[in-house]
Structure 1
Amino acid sequence: MKKIGFLSFGHWTPSPQSGTRSACENLLQSIDLAVAAEELGLDGAYYRVHHFARQHASPFPLLAAVGARTKKIEIGTGVIDMRYENPLYMAEDAGAADLISGGRLQLGISRGSPEQVIEGYKYFGYAPAEGETDADMGRRHAEVFYDVLRGQGFAKPNPRPMFPNPPGLLRLEPFSEGLRDRIWWGAGSNATAKWAAKLGMNLQSSTLKDDETGEPFHVQQAEQIRVYREAFKEAGHAREPRVSVSRSIFALTNDMDRAYFGRSGDSDDQIGFIDENTRAIFGRSYAAEPDKLVEQLKKDEAIAEADTLLLTIPNQLGVDYNAHLIESILTHVAPAMGWR
């Protein structure tokens, strides 16, 4: 059995060819797709976060709205760039959204990837401390956020408060019990996967990672997952961790599917650079008739290692068509793969 969710970047553009032409349409369609996905039996609705872009940005209003409209589906991110975040304010937002959803939040966070503007986090009021890189700052913000989710008091109360305080040091409110166990780290390397394991976070591994061995993407990603699980075990955490991988997977079941994805040029891994010094490998996409698709997916070692699969979706093709893509995977692929 494997949990399956969708991952939406939330693209929108004021183009006649787009089914999502404004930020408003993007947000409302994102809610509607989560409702439709839950009705189809999908396990998760996840949203990417990019600042200064015509995509999903501030995630918590959307997560809270999805939580209020659905009942069972997991609601998450993949990922929030912690370089841009005030970790204490974020903990309050996350606690509120998790309580609204009844404890279904699955928050993916990370140090972030190259963004739309140069050092965009500085516009949000954050800059690395002396001797820090921006990645160090993102991990520092993540550690603070993860720590305050323990729910322990740390702030000295005012002796003359506006409202009565409980005894002792004060914690952030609202506090949502169990949310800390549902925080995921988006790791781009084996080293950061180990770091997340030691802290006790779950692992999100996307469609790109540092090219550390020159092997195919899915082989390197599977090794990253094994390294992470071993480090999690060595750290002595009591619970079993969760691991997700992201993939673009399209079952071609009708002429429209074939028109959109039948000639996909992404059937092989790609090599590139995400900054001046980091060589990265980008995983392939999958698009084929269901029987061929199943055979291809059976060879993907990282999908086999993960307990959760996030399907990246072309959100600008509209709610109905994306619901069709999801249903095709659940109907024609998931049973044959043993996921259902």
Structure 2
Amino acid sequence: MKKKIGFLNFGHWTPSPHSQVRTASDALLQTIELAVAAEELGVDGAYVRVHHFARQLASPFPLLAAMAARTSSIELGTGVIDMRYENPPYMAEDAGAADLISAGRLQLGVSRGSPEQVIDGFRHFGFEPADGDHAAMAREHTRRFLDLLEGEGFAEPNPRPMFPNPPGLLPLKPHAPGLRQRIWWGAGSRATAEWAADQGMNLMSSTLLTEDTGVPFHRLQAEQIERFRTAWAAAGHDWEPRVSVSRSVFPIVDERDRAYFGRESRSQDQVGMIDGGIARFGKTYAGEPDQLVRDLAEDEAVAAADTLLLTIPNQLGVDYNAHVLESVVEHVAPALGWR
């Protein structure tokens, strides 16, 4: 299957002398530079992770707009925005503006979010979940956000406005046509993938699932994708969804690669605990290109997805990460029929 290939940048920074990304400014500016480099290499997407209260990328829309201003064709996205923290109307305005700047290239991944750096951080942003159910609050924020992206009027106009109003109820502006169909839900389980399908969102699945049935990670994720597509068909949406999966893939083509990732060639799935529940984590793919081609050809979830997001070690700097992306695009993707 032909695939879109993108990178997913967590945007870590640390003042360590071993890091090429030592400040928040470094993380932001290098993310922009890597998007430019990736577009030149023919990579299809530049995605950023969103984490609050951490030395990582946290405010995606200024960054996405800056990436859009420096590029012309690459998709720009998030993986994922924690909807527990988001004010849906303000987010709809920010997203609309960034999408218009990009000429319709935004692909926004949203979700309930991952374990936090602080206790109930969303409360510091002014949000109090009813009955303490923060996952339900994230879903409700998402539904409201999706409704607002439709661009329909809902607000009663002031009879004495500062500027003349058109007739009828007023929508939020700016409105970005088509963005509603470019929203993805980061699903951690088979059930949440089915919920995403019901809501009419694309599916974004990462390198972990918040459940474990004893089968290999890629097989459980492939079942998640199958359930999503079945639920999508049952919901009767009139457009075809997209599905992305994330993987850590490091072709070893020189001594730098071997030094950084040679030991990861023995990586295996792991089962652990996250948010108080069992989870299965996917392995890292590292090795000679021929071996990676053989290994990835057996990954059922990668085969089922139309988009592959490569998680990158951003603290190794723009040049090295561009090298990793180039190695995948040139040495791995063609042999698998992705290009």
The Cα of 1:211 is off from its aligned counterpart by: 2.2
SS in structure 1 of the partner of residue 142 of structure 2: helix
Residue range with higher mean Cα deviation, 205-214 or 43-52 = 205-214
Q: Which residue of 2 aligns with 1:136?
A: 136
User: Are the aligned partners of 1:266 and 1:284 in contact in 2 as well (CA < 8 Å)?
Assistant: no
Q: How does 1:243-262 map to 2 (within 5 A)?
A: 243-262=243-262
Structure 2: which amino acid aligns with 1:32?
Answer: E
Q: What is the CA–CA distance in structure 2 between the aligned matches of 1:322 and 1:123, rounded to whole Å?
A: 35
Q: Which residue of 1 aligns with 2:10?
A: 9
Q: What is the aligned residue count? A: 338
The Cα of 1:212 is off from its aligned counterpart by: 3.8
Q: Which residue of 2 aligns with 1:335?
A: 334
Q: How does 1:99-248 map to 2 (within 5 A)?
A: 99-129=100-130, 131-248=131-248
SS in structure 2 of the partner of residue 83 of structure 1: helix
Q: Which residue of 2 aligns with 1:275?
A: 275
Q: Which runs of 5+ in 2 are unaligned?
A: none
Q: Which residue of 2 aligns with 1:68?
A: 69
TM-score, normalised by the number of residues in structure 1: 0.98
SS in structure 1 of the partner of residue 260 of structure 2: helix
Structure 2: which amino acid aligns with 1:36?
Answer: A
Q: What is the CA–CA distance in structure 2 between the aligned matches of 1:83 and 1:254, rounded to whole Å?
A: 43
SS in structure 2 of the partner of residue 339 of structure 1: coil
Between the aligned residues of both structures, percent identity stands at: 70
User: Are the aligned partners of 1:5 and 1:310 in contact in 2 as well (CA < 8 Å)?
Assistant: yes
Q: What is the CA–CA distance in structure 1 between the aligned matches of 2:132 and 2:177, rounded to whole Å?
A: 33
User: Are the aligned partners of 1:3 and 1:308 in contact in 2 as well (CA < 8 Å)?
Assistant: yes
Q: What is the CA–CA distance in structure 2 between the aligned matches of 1:114 and 1:139, rounded to whole Å?
A: 16
1:311 aligns with 2:305: no
Q: What is the CA–CA distance in structure 2 between the aligned matches of 1:107 and 1:266, rounded to whole Å?
A: 33
Dislocated runs of 4+, deviation >6 Å: none
TM-score, normalised by the number of residues in structure 2: 0.99
The Cα of 1:264 is off from its aligned counterpart by: 1.6
SS in structure 2 of the partner of residue 79 of structure 1: strand
SS in structure 2 of the partner of residue 118 of structure 1: coil
Q: What is the CA–CA distance in structure 2 between the aligned matches of 1:275 and 1:329, rounded to whole Å?
A: 33
Q: What is the CA–CA distance in structure 2 between the aligned matches of 1:75 and 1:227, rounded to whole Å?
A: 27
Residues 265 and 324 from structure 1, CA distance in 2 versus in 1: closer, same or farther, beyond 3 angstroms? closer
User: Are the aligned partners of 1:110 and 1:186 in contact in 2 as well (CA < 8 Å)?
Assistant: yes
The Cα of 1:132 is off from its aligned counterpart by: 4.9
The Cα of 1:172 is off from its aligned counterpart by: 0.5
Q: Which residue of 1 aligns with 2:91?
A: 90
User: Are the aligned partners of 2:265 and 2:287 in contact in 1 as well (CA < 8 Å)?
Assistant: no
The Cα of 1:272 is off from its aligned counterpart by: 1.1
The Cα of 1:273 is off from its aligned counterpart by: 1.1
Q: What is the CA–CA distance in structure 2 between the aligned matches of 1:114 and 1:20, rounded to whole Å?
A: 23
Q: What is the CA–CA distance in structure 1 between the aligned matches of 2:46 and 2:321, rounded to whole Å?
A: 12
Q: What is the CA–CA distance in structure 2 between the aligned matches of 1:212 and 1:180, rounded to whole Å?
A: 32
The Cα of 1:213 is off from its aligned counterpart by: 1.6
SS in structure 1 of the partner of residue 263 of structure 2: coil
SS in structure 2 of the partner of residue 173 of structure 1: coil
Residue range with higher mean Cα deviation, 286-295 or 257-266 = 257-266
Please give the per-residue CA displacement for 1:131-155, whole angstroms capped at 9, x wherever unaligned.
3511111111001001110100000
Q: Which residue of 2 aligns with 1:320?
A: 319
Structure 1: which amino acid aligns with 2:285?
Answer: Y
Structure 2: which amino acid aligns with 1:329?
Answer: V
Q: What is the CA–CA distance in structure 2 between the aligned matches of 1:310 and 1:212, rounded to whole Å?
A: 22
Structure 2: which amino acid aligns with 1:89?
Answer: Y
User: Are the aligned partners of 1:47 and 1:77 in contact in 2 as well (CA < 8 Å)?
Assistant: yes
The Cα of 1:266 is off from its aligned counterpart by: 6.6
SS in structure 1 of the partner of residue 47 of structure 2: strand
1:37 aligns with 2:38: yes
